C-alpha cells in the first residue's frame, strides 16, 4: 500500500488554476521530488498535502488513511519550510520541542527526543541559542530537527536549500540524503533545481502548469523522457533541440536530414514507429552525446561562440543566450576558442525525437 496517495488534486486561486488534476503515489521510505519551473504549482501541491491549503477536489491519504479533511497536525506529517520559519523568540531546544509540547509529551521525554535529534544533526552545542545566533545552515538544520523529533510518517520539504549558498547547499543535500537513509522515512521534497532532484530522488515528479508531465526514477526521466519539456528540464546542461526533416525509413529507424548539423540520412530510432510518417520532427540530443572523444558514427562541425571551462569538461555554445543555441561537450583540456570551428561526434542512438507539440515520437 502506498504511504502517500494523492488522487486527482485540483486547486485554483480565483481564476487561476494552479493544480489541474494531479495524482501520484509514494511508497513507504521513498524519496519523492517535485520538480518544475517557478509557478508550476509544486509548492502549492506540497501545501495541499500538508493541509495548509484546502483542495477544491481530490483526496489525499497517508498510510491508507484519508486525511483530506484532517488538520495539518493530525496528518502525521512534518514540514520544513524554505524560509526555516523558526520561532525567533525561542531557543533551539524549545523550537524543536514545541511540536512535542503541543502533542502533550512530558518534559523529560521531550528533552530526550530533542537531544536525540540534536545529536543526529550536530546541534547539541547550540540548544540554548536563539535562531538569530545561528548561521543559515544551522538554522536549516534546526528546521529539519523540528520535523524529525515528531517522528512523522512523511517529511515535506519546501525548497529547503534555496536560501543557502552553493557550497552549503551541496553539504546539506548530502546531509538530507544521509538522514533519509538513517531515518528510512518517506520524504517529499520540492525544488526547482534539477540537480537536487536527480541526486536525492528515488522518484521524480515533473510538473508544469499544475499538471504532471512525467513520474519516474531520475535515470528513467533522463534516458526515456515522455516529452521535450521533461527532456529539456532534466539533465544539465539542458538538451539541444534542432529541427529535422524526415526523409525515409530503414527498419525501425527514421532517416533524418538535420540542417543545423549539416547531416543527411541520420538514422534515429523512435520510441514507437508512427503510423503515418511525419514530415518534420524535433531532434533532441544531450551535450554529453554531442561530444568530443565519444563513440559516434557521425561527425558534426560546430562554430564556437562561447566557451565554458569547468575543469573536467568544457562546453561549447553556438549561440549563447538564444533558444536555438547548441551546446556540445568538449574535453576539459580542449583548446577551442571563440570563433573556432570544432568537430564533435554525435551518438545517434542517444537521440530523441519529438513532434512539433513536444510529445515524444
Partner 1 sequence: MKRSAAINALMVACGAFFVTLVGLPFWWVVSGSVKVPQEIIARTPTMFPHSFTLQHYTKLFDGSAYPDYLLNSLIVAVSSTVLTLVLAIPAAFAFFRLDFPGRSALYRTILLAYAFPSIVVLIPLFGLFAKIGLVDRLPALVIVNAAFALPFSIWMLRSFFAGVPKEIEEAAVMDGASTMTILRRIMIPLVAPGIASVGIYAFVSAWTEYVFTSVLILSDAKRTLPVGFSGIIGQYQIDWGLLLAGATVAIVPVVAIFALIGRGFVSGLTEGAVK
Residue 74 or 277 having the CB closest to partner 1: 74
Please count the CA atoms within 13 angstroms of the CA of 94 that sit on its side-chain side: 9
Closest listed residue to residue 221, CA positions, set 240, 242, 236, 243: 236
31, 98, 155, 315: residue in contact with partner 1 (rule CB under 8 A): 98
Q: Using the rule CB under 8 A, is 137 a contact of partner 1?
A: no
What is the secondary structure of 161-219 as a DSSP string?
A: TTTS-HHHHHHHHHHHHHHHHHH--EEEEEES-HHHHHHH-SEEEEEETTEEEEEE-HH
Residue 97 or 225 having the CB closest to partner 1: 97
Number of amino acids touching partner 1 (CB under 8 A): 32
Residue 163 or 245 having the CB closest to partner 1: 163
Task: Output the smallest distance, CB 295 to partner 1, in A.
Answer: 48
C-alpha grid cell, residue 157: 520539504
131, 137, 225, 267: residue in contact with partner 1 (rule CB under 8 A): 131
Residue 5 or 70 having the CB closest to partner 1: 70
Q: How far apart are CA 118 and CA 138, in angstroms?
A: 11
Closest listed residue to residue 328, CA positions, set 239, 263, 249: 239
Name the residue with cell 569547468: 310
Contact stretch for partner 1 (CB under 8 A) within 124-132, 206-214, 258-266, 352-360: 124-132
Site string for partner 1, 270-289 (x = CB under 8 A): --------------------
Task: Output the smallest distance, CB 273 to partner 1, in A.
Answer: 51
Task: Output the smallest distance, CB 175 to partner 1, in A.
Answer: 19
Residue 133 or 335 having the CB closest to partner 1: 133
Q: How far apart are CA 62 and CA 30, in angstroms?
A: 13
Task: Output the smallest distance, CB 71 to partner 1, in A.
Answer: 8
Q: What angle do CA 277, 279, 282 make, to 5 degrees?
A: 100
Please count the CA atoms within 13 angstroms of the CA of 349 that sit on its side-chain side: 4
Task: Output the smallest distance, CB 168 to partner 1, in A.
Answer: 14
Question: What burial class does residue 2 get, using C-beta atoms within 10 Å of its C-beta: 0-12 exposed, 13-18 middle, 19+ buried?
Answer: middle
Residues 220-279 that bind partner 1 (CB under 8 A): none
76, 99, 232, 320: residue in contact with partner 1 (rule CB under 8 A): 99
163, 223, 224, 243: residue in contact with partner 1 (rule CB under 8 A): 163
Are 301 and 291 in contact by the 8 Å Cβ rule? The answer is no
Question: What burial class does residue 143 get, using C-beta atoms within 10 Å of its C-beta: 0-12 exposed, 13-18 middle, 19+ buried?
Answer: buried
Residues 66-95 that bind partner 1 (CB under 8 A): 71-74, 77-79, 81-89
Q: Using the rule CB under 8 A, is 130 a contact of partner 1?
A: yes
Number of residues in the chain: 361
- Which stretches of the chain bind partner 1, using CB under 8 A? 50, 52, 71-74, 77-79, 81-89, 98-99, 102-103, 130-134, 136, 139, 146, 150, 163
Amino acid at each position: 500500500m502506498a504511504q502517500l496517495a494523492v488522487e486527482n488534486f485540483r486547486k485554483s486561486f480565483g481564476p487561476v488554476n494552479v493544480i489541474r488534476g494531479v495524482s501520484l503515489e509514494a511508497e513507504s521510505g521513498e524519496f519523492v521530488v517535485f520538480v518544475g519551473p517557478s509557478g508550476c504549482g509544486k509548492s502549492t501541491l506540497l501545501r495541499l498535502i500538508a493541509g495548509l491549503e484546502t483542495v477544491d477536489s481530490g483526496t489525499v491519504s497517508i498510510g491508507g488513511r484519508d486525511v483530506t479533511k484532517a488538520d495539518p497536525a493530525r496528518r502525521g506529517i512534518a514540514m520544513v519550510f524554505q524560509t526555516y520559519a523558526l520561532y525567533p523568540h525561542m531557543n533551539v531546544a524549545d523550537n524543536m520541542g514545541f511540536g512535542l509540547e503541543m502533542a502533550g509529551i512530558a518534559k523529560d521525554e521531550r528533552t530526550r527526543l530533542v537531544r536525540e535529534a540534536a545529536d543526529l544533526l550536530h546541534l547539541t552545542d547550540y540548544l540554548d541559542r536563539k535562531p538569530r545566533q545561528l548561521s543559515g545552515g544551522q538554522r536549516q538544520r534546526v528546521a529539519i530537527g523540528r520535523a524529525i523529533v515528531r517522528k512523522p510518517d512523511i517529511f515535506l520539504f519546501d525548497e529547503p536549500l534555496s536560501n543557502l549558498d552553493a557550497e552549503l547547499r551541496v553539504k546539506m543535500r548530502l546531509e538530507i540524503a544521509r538522514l533519509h537513509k538513517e531515518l528510512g522515512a518517506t520524504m517529499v521534497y520540492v525544488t526547482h533545481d534539477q540537480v537536487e532532484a536527480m541526486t536525492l530522488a528515488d522518484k521524480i515528479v515533473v510538473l508544469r502548469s499544475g499538471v504532471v508531465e512525467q513520474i519516474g526514477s531520475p535515470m528513467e526521466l533522463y534516458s526515456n523522457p515522455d516529452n521535450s519539456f521533461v527532456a529539456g528540464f532534466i539533465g544539465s546542461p539542458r538538451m539541444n533541440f534542432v529541427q529535422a526533416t524526415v526523409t525515409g525509413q530503414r527498419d525501425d529507424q527514421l532517416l533524418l536530414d538535420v540542417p543545423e548539423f549539416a547531416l543527411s540520412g541520420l538514422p534515429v530510432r523512435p520510441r514507437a514507429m508512427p503510423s503515418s510518417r511525419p514530415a518534420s520532427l524535433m531532434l533532441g540530443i544531450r551535450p554529453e552525446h554531442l561530444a568530443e572523444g565519444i563513440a559516434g558514427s557521425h561527425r558534426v562541425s560546430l562554430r564556437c561562440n562561447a566557451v565554458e571551462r569547468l575543469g573536467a569538461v568544457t562546453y561549447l555554445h553556438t549561440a549563447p543566450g538564444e533558444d536555438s543555441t547548441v551546446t556540445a561537450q568538449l574535453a576539459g583540456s580542449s583548446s577551442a576558442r571563440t570563433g573556432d570551428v570544432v568537430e564533435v561526434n554525435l551518438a545517434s542512438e542517444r537521440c530523441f525525437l519529438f513532434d512539433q507539440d513536444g510529445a515524444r515520437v
